[in-house]
Amino acid sequence: MATRRASTPTQPIGLVVEVVEEDLAIFAWDVARPATATLTDAERDVLERVVAGASNASIARERRTSIRTVANQVASLLSKLGAASRYELIQRYANGRAP
């Protein structure tokens, strides 16, 4: 049984393809991701503030940056940590499970 991994820069989670027979393949998402995804210091700070319930606007004021920058950092967090929403980030990391 051969295993091949397909990955592109825009798709950080690879797709595992197990070839069972020549014309039959089973596809399964490879959801294995390091527990500590690589976050910048700014992303870690934004994550802490998001988990504390701060809005993008208040985070931007506190960090003295633009709302757009904070929104981009939140989007990066969602992607790097595999969360579907801000709510999911809060649920995952509210109990001190920050990466």
Write down the CATH number for the domain with range 41-93.
1.10.10.10
Q: How far apart (Å, rounded) are the C-alpha atoms in residues 41 and 66?
A: 17
Q: How far apart (Å, rounded) are the C-alpha atoms in residues 95 and 86?
A: 15
- Pick the residue with more confidence: 63 or 98? 63
Write down the pTM of the prediction.
0.61
Place of tokens 């592109």: 8
What are the pLDDT digits (tens) for 15-50? 444 444 444 444 433 344 444 458 899 999 999 999
Q: Between the CA of residue 70 and those of 8, 27, 64, 76, 97, what are the distances in Å? A: 26, 36, 10, 10, 21
CATH 1.10.10.10 domain residues, the chain: 41-93
Residues 6+ apart with CB under 8 A from 39: 47, 77, 80, 99
- Pick the residue with more confidence: 79 or 13? 79
The closest of 48, 42, 49, 36 to 82, measured between CA atoms, is 36
Q: Hey, what amino acid is at 54?
A: A
Are the beta carbons of 15 and 27 closer than 8 angstroms? yes
Q: pLDDT tier at 96 (50, 70, 90 boundaries)? A: low
